[in-house]
Structure 1
Amino acid sequence: MHPSNSPAGRLAAVGNQMIEIHLWLSAELARLRASLDTAGDARASRDLRAHCLTFCAALGRHHTGEDTGAFGLLAEQVPELRPVIANLITDHEVVAGILERVEALLTGDTAVPRTELRAELDGLAALLESHFRYEEKRLVGALNALTGRSGTAEELLGLAAPPHVSE
């Protein structure tokens, strides 16, 4: 086993860090969906917009990081994962479409259309739950087996793993 502060040790934990990021993103999405029930006034609406846009940006960064970092490395090192990676990239494109619709609902001067926003976020939650589990089941072992590569988990995954996940 590599020391955790060595470059190889950091990369050996990429799969585990991906799980931590997924848990954090799932918890943030659940919190965001719950906030739809409590957001009522203009200030709450601004807070809801900010929270939602921040979440959308974080999820987008994560998927872009995977597509340009971890997935390329895995496709090179473990060619048999290429069909899995192609499926995951297709999922990322679907998620990006949902995020675009969410962001469109949140722009403008009118109140946030909660019914439409809830429908998009509920669909996103269902898709992400399936996507995250599939990705973890198929890639974590391969990611954790990577050693001796330059880069950081943040570069490969688009986000740094949160210090702790609380739901």
Structure 2
Amino acid sequence: MDADRLIAWDAELRGAHARLRAALAATREALDTGADVPAAASDLALFCIGFCTALDGHHRAEDSSLFPALRAEHPELGGMIDKLMQDHSLLAHLLGALRLAVETGEDADSLARHLDGIGAIMESHFRFEEREILEPLRALVLDAEVPAVLGPL
């Protein structure tokens, strides 16, 4: 195993969060540039699908790979990890509602409300996660590829 991999999970998580924040910003921009125009609506659908897939994939990977490894090395973090996983479930529900809103052609104001809700929960979740688990991640021993642990970002 590459020794650098042993100390890189905190930086990898921050990088994943930065890319997801950028994906949300690009989705908002697609909405702001005219989701009422058919071509822009198509662009918005692509951004939403991409963003939803990326965020959901990130959380599924954390739930299946990162969090079990973190819990094994730091059982005292179990309650905090449970809360993070609850956030993942809530965000999955919100992402499903956004996908449905895009697919059914809801108006720009409705889509903006969906994005606002997701953005608020996502940002709160990311900040909590970064505050609470970056330190333990610095020493996490996990022999896995980044996409398996943090999603295909």
Q: TM-score, normalised by structure 2?
A: 0.93
Report if aligned partners of 2:56, 2:92 keep a CA contact under 8 Å in 1: yes
Farther off after superposition, 7-16 or 75-84: 7-16
Residue identity matched to 1:71: F
C-alpha RMSD of matched pairs (Å) = 1.4
Secondary structure of 2:14's match? helix
* Residue ranges of structure 2 left out of the alignment (5+ in a row): none
Q: SS of the residue aligned with 1:66?
A: helix
Tell me, yes or no, if the aligned pair for 2:26 and 2:47 is still in contact at 8 Å. Answer: no
1:8 deviates by: 3.7
Counting only pairs closer than 5 Å after superposition, residues 35-54 of structure 1 correspond to structure 2 as: 35-39=30-34, 40-54=36-50
Q: Distance in 2 between matches of 1:100 and 1:7?
A: 38
Write the letter of the residue equivalent to 2:72.
Answer: E
Give 1:90-105 correspondences, 5 Å limit.
90-105=86-101
Q: Which amino acid aligns with 1:158?
A: G
> 1:113: how far off?
2.1
User: Which residue of structure 2 aligns with residue 66 of structure 1?
Assistant: 62
Secondary structure, counterpart of 2:143 in structure 1: coil
Aligned to 2:140: 146
* Alpha carbons 2:30, 2:43 under 8 Å: kept: no
CA contact (8 A) 2:94 2:118 kept: yes
Residue 21 of structure 1 contacts residue 159 of structure 1 at CA under 8 Å; is this kept in 2? no
Deviation at 1:101, TM superposition (A): 0.2
Report the structure, 1 or 2, having the larger helix content: 2
The alpha carbon displacement at 1:11 in A equals 3.6
CA shift, 1:41, in A, is 1.5
Once the two structures are aligned, what percentage of the paired residues are identical?
Answer: 35
Who is 2:17 aligned against? Answer: 22
- In structure 2, the partner of 1:135 is 129
Aligned to 1:156: 149
SS in 2 for 1:92: helix
Residue 11 of structure 1 contacts residue 153 of structure 1 at CA under 8 Å; is this kept in 2?
Answer: no
Is 1:79 paired with 2:79? Answer: no
TM-superposed CA distance for 1:112, in Å, is 4.2
- How many Å apart are 1:91 and its aligned residue? 0.4
Aligned partners of 1:131, 1:70: CA distance in 2, in Å? 16
Please tell me whether the aligned partners of residues 14 and 144 of structure 1 are also in contact (alpha carbons under 8 angstroms). yes
8 A Cα contact 2:61 2:148, kept in partner: yes
Q: Structure 1 regions of 5+ residues with no counterpart? A: 1-5, 161-167
Higher RCO (Cα < 8 Å, 6 or more apart):
1
Q: CA deviation at 1:43?
A: 0.9
Aligned length: 152
